[in-house]
Amino acid sequence: MRRRFSKPKVFAFGLAAASLVFAGCTATIDSGASTTSSWEEAVGVETALVSEITVFWSPTCGCCGQWIEHAKAAGFQVKDEITEDMSVIKQTYGVPPSLTSRHTTVVGDYVVEGHIPAEDVQRLLTEKPDVAGIAVPGMPIGSPGMESGDYTELYTVFSFTESGETTAFAEHS
């Protein structure tokens, strides 16, 4: 017995097949790189393409490990560099003495010092200001890796230049 196909059935089948082909052609494969939206392209904003960070920290510091987990949860791929001599790392990467904390992170062309929220790191990478890095001096309670219940003390994330000039980058409470 010979099957007959009506024009509406053939049209519906063709439309369904074309939809599948079109969907397959426009699907993106996650290669780990970010893309920009049409709005971002229109205004010239580039999203952060850096996802790997290198964290230098002391093996005796538990809060550094907690900050690393915070960074991983935000989508960063963390390269662990455990070292006994953090002062050499801070000098090598130009962290001003007044801004030091426990761990030092290198991400792209920037230095990230201390317990900085991941959204501030992402903002740094997106905005790309002309600075050497950002830092949270000390170990503020409530900052990522320094959580203590619901309490968060007010703290400032500072940007710094290679010459040591500082400016407030973000406020947190």
Whether residue 61 is contained in a domain is answered as: yes
Structural domain contains residue 82: yes
DSSP-assigned letter for residue 115: S
Query: Which residues partner with 79 through β-bridges?
Result: 54
Q: Is residue 21 part of a domain?
A: no
Average pLDDT over residues 165-170: 96
Instruction: Specify if 166 maps to a domain.
Output: yes
Cα dist from 84 to 58, 88, 103, 132, whole Å: 6, 10, 11, 24
Digit-coded pLDDT (tens) for 123-154: 999 999 999 999 999 999 999 988 988 899 99
Q: How far apart are the first and last CA of the chain?
A: 77
Domain of 80?
Answer: 52-172
Beta-carbon contacts of 147 under 8 Å, excluding residues fewer than 6 positions away, are: 66
Q: How confident is the model at residue 5 (pLDDT cuts 50, 70, 90)?
A: very low
Q: What is the pLDDT of residue 50?
A: 63
For the full predicted model, state whether its pTM sits above 0.85.
Answer: no
